[in-house]
Chains A and B, each alone.
Chain A
Amino acid sequence: MLRILNKIQRIGIVTERLPKIEEPALEEIGAQLKNRIGELFGGSLAIREVDAGSCNGCELEIQALNNPYYGIERFGVHFVASPRHADMLLVTGPVSRHMEAALRRTYDATPEPKLVIAVGECGANGGEFGVSYASCGAVSNVIPVDAVIRGCPPTPLDLMRGILEAIGKLQQNKHK
């Protein structure tokens, strides 16, 4: 036990302030995200991740959002086990035809109002796999999509930025 406490104390908190790379305004957006989640989702945004046919690259980067560097929970974002608890679906693709029915059912099980983000090149446009006898291609070919996060796979920072933007859009639409 002492060794564990010692390790924890020595490592300290590695969670990063949102790094300034690529987009200087990210730290501000981080703060805005927290505020918006506060306004729109009662302080907590529940995401259900659905792998609808990916190569698992996107899943690894989405998992990384929970590692101590990104610690996405500090912004009020958390991943839930059931679509019935979710405000948002994060769907990776391409949507295989064998996952088509499961994805539709997951979408239907998610309560309104809901947001859907298609993740990765494959989720956005079918990527390397496109449309075939086995693949429906983009997520938007199967369920309505509100936003897209591109990249193969998108990095954890891309994912955070994409989630912020999707929520931003929701707020704009609400004020229209």
Chain B
Amino acid sequence: MTTNAWMTSFLGRLSLREISVQEEPAPGLAPARLLKIGADDWGRFAHEAKNWDCRWVAAWGEDNGEDLIVNAAFEKDGVYFIARAQVKRATPILPSHTPYYVAADRPERHMQDMLGVVFTDHPDPRRWTRHRAWKDSEFPLRKDFPAAGHPPAQTPPNDNYRFLFAHGSGVYEIPVGPVHAGIIEPGHFRFQAVGETVLNLEERLGYVHKGIEKIAQGRDAAGLARLAGRVSGDSTVAHAWAACMAMEKAAGVTVPARALSLRAIMAERERVANHLGDIGAICNDVSFTFAFYQFGRLRELWQRLSREAFGHRFMMDVVVPGGVATDIGDQASAAMQKQVASLRKELAGLYNIVEDMPSLEDRLDTTGYLAPETAKAFGALGYVGRASGIAFDVRKDAPYAPYQGMNLEVPVFTQGDVATRVEVRMQEILASFALIEKLLADLPAGPVHVPWKSPAAGAEGLGLVEGFRGEILAYVRFDDGGRIARYFPRDPSWLTWPTLEKLVRDNIVPDFPVCNKSVNGSYSGHDL
């Protein structure tokens, strides 16, 4: 494949730089390739990957009893590779990737808190995921740490965290959260402001850390799919699909074509539902309630049909290992086709209203500007990336079944403001409509499920799915008896949350909610 050509020259470059690299076969990780890197060369390796313009995707680690294994995933031109290093459990010291990739900042601190990896030249060694439910000498993802932990009778609040501090005449600080004013998830925001202008925002997340990675261990395949469906409720289909894809690749299970199409129909329905709700909410945040109620109405109709067709308003627990749990009949298929046609018509009218509403233009244009170079530096995904020049979409650039060969329009702009993120989402709805129509029209006949067969101990798999927020990565490794040894889901929110800190600067404090909603990071998907 020509797209792999850069990989060959990249590997040549690494050897020229005397970086210890060894490619190993890893069928479950395909199409990603596995590169074993010498621990001492871990940082220099990232430096070269950066020079080669590779995108930083994710990092996660694992305790195998003797050593800690650290993984980092990268992508370029739709080709993925996973770099892997091994350090002694007693001396888990590794150079950091953060000096080259800012996106690696929080994920490495997560690994530091959860697994006890020490990143020597990390510019910000403060804790991240750990608040005060476990001690700094304890690491929940170590094998000798029991899932029950040793929590205090009452967990104290998360104080003693050193926030960035600004001072000077007229500078003041606004702490917000973790309990927010709306019906939304909890997190803490620390603003430094002068007058109404935001000088700096610092996010403090981790409040909804539920131990997902730890409690995944020991589950069977079906149990993991249920858990994955609750990593972030709004992305239940996409996360369950990514986890199932990883498990199916590890086990060499081939999912029937009809099941794959049904998964894609559900994933597109999930994307449309979230975009509808969020466009309405963004308009509501600038007091254009007409759009809030209209889009909310359409979202409700959409969810009701999801329930009729798939048995659940969010289609939770429908994606299962080996296929899907429910099939649809001709009636549901026709109803979905009909709904797409009617919503397309309705949205055309609403778009016209939203797009030339002077008050919306005033509040949304130029608000929350994310420069394309900043978006690229942070590896922004989904509509946040696509409003700032980053076109990457797993469905198009590294397509998985059934998206191969489907004609998908990916909207890309460079204006980078709230209005453009809304525009991207409006166009993505239309693109999803086209996909749903095509998937329904060409729905293959046959079974929707094959029996699950557990893979051998040690089998690993990688799932990559385009959720509504962007690329979702799921890594799975099996233990004996078909039990899960390691599950790591990387929600796109890990990469978009940090962009919010940047894009809100120099905006007025009252525009923070609309900036936040235009990014809409998942707290649960991030905190894990």
Contact = CB atoms under 8 A, between A and B. Distances in A.
Contact of A67 (B131, B145, B231, B293): B293
B190 to A, nearest CB: 15
B208 A99 contact: yes
Interface in A46-94: 49-64, 66-69, 79, 81-83, 94
Interface in B345-380: 349-350, 352-353
Given A56-B185, A106-B179, A132 B147 contact: yes
Contact of A133 (B151, B185, B349, B522): B151
Contacts of A176: none
What bracket does the count of chain A residues touching chain B fall in?
35 or more
Contacts of A153: 233, 314
Interface stretch (A7-15, A24-32, A34-42, A161-169): A7-15
B300 A67 contact: yes
A153 B314 CA distance: 9
A38 B349 CA distance: 40
B313 A155 contact: yes
A54 to B, nearest CB: 7
Q: Is the interface of B mostly helix, strand, loop or mixed?
A: loop
Contacts of A52: 186
B51 interface: no
Nearest to A59: B183
B494 to A, nearest CB: 16
A101 B522 contact: no
Interface in B168-197: 178-179, 181-186
Contacts of A51: 183-186, 208
Contacts of A69: 297, 300
Contacts of B156: 101
A131 B353 contact: no
Interface stretch (B31-39, B210-218, B402-410): B210-218
A98 B206 contact: yes
Contacts of A57: 230, 233-234, 236, 314, 316
Contact of B207 (A64, A96, A135): A96
21 contacts: A7-B350, A14-B297, A55-B524, A57-B316, A60-B234, A63-B183, A67-B297, A79-B182, A83-B179, A97-B133, A98-B208, A99-B186, A102-B178, A104-B154, A130-B215, A132-B149, A132-B210, A132-B211, A133-B146, A133-B211, A134-B133
Interface of B: 131-134, 140, 145-151, 154-158, 178-179, 181-186, 206-212, 214-215, 226-227, 230-234, 236, 277, 290, 293-294, 296-297, 299-300, 303, 313-314, 316, 349-350, 352-353, 522-524, 527
